A and B are shown apart, each in its own frame.
Chain A
Amino acid sequence: MASADILDYEADDIDMEEDGEVNFILDNSVLDGIVRMKEAAKRRKGRGFASEGTTKTEIKHYEGVEADDEDDVAQKSVEGWILFVSGVHEEASDDELRDKFSEFGQIKNFHLNLDRRTGFIKGYALVEYEKRSEAEAARVNLDNTDMLGQIIRVNWCFVQPPKK
Chain B
Amino acid sequence: MPRGKNDFYLRYYVGHKGKFGHEFLEFEFRPDGKLRYANNSNYKNDVMIRKECTVNVCVIDELRRLIDDSEIMQEDDTMWPPPDRVGRQELEIVMGDDHISFTTSKIGSLVDVNTSKDPEGLRCFYYLVQDLKCCVFSLIGLHFKIKPI
A interface with B by C-beta (< 8 Å): 1, 3-4, 6, 8, 30, 33-34, 36-38, 40-49, 52, 54-55, 57, 59, 61-65, 75, 77-79, 82, 84, 86, 109, 111, 113-117, 122-124, 126, 128, 153, 155-162
State the CA gap A47–B127 with chains docked (Å): 20
**Interface majority SS on B: helix, strand, loop or mixed?**
mixed
Can you list 5 contacts pairing A with B, beta carbon distance less than 8 Å? A47-B101, A54-B101, A116-B127, A155-B58, A157-B56
Q: A84-B56, A109-B142 are in contact. Are A62 and B51 (CB under 8 A)?
A: yes
Q: Tell me the smallest distance from the CB of A55 to a CB of chain B, in Å.
A: 6
Interface size on B, residues (CB 8 A): 64
State the CA gap A63–B52 with chains docked (Å): 6
Q: Tell me the smallest distance from the CB of A25 to a CB of chain B, in Å.
A: 16
B interface with A by C-beta (< 8 Å): 1, 3-4, 7, 9, 13, 15, 22, 24, 26, 30-34, 36-38, 40, 42, 45-48, 50-56, 58-59, 61-62, 65-66, 76-78, 82, 88, 90, 92, 94, 96-103, 127, 130-131, 134-135, 138-139, 142-145
Contact of A38 among B9, B61, B78 (CB under 8 A): B9
Q: A41-B97, A157-B59 are in contact. Are A79 and B131 (CB under 8 A)?
A: no
State the CA gap A78–B51 with chains docked (Å): 12
Count of chain A to chain B residue pairs whose CB atoms are closer than 8 Å in the complex: 185
Q: Tell me the smallest distance from the CB of B43 to a CB of chain A, in Å.
A: 11
Query: Contact between A55 and B90 (Cβ–Cβ < 8 Å)?
Result: yes
Chain A residues, Cβ within 8 Å of B51:
62-64
Chain A residues, Cβ within 8 Å of B32:
30, 33, 161-162
Q: A65-B144, A122-B134, A155-B58 are in contact. Are A43 and B97 (CB under 8 A)?
A: yes
Q: Tell me the smallest distance from the CB of A87 to a CB of chain B, in Å.
A: 9
State the CA gap A123–B61 with chains docked (Å): 12
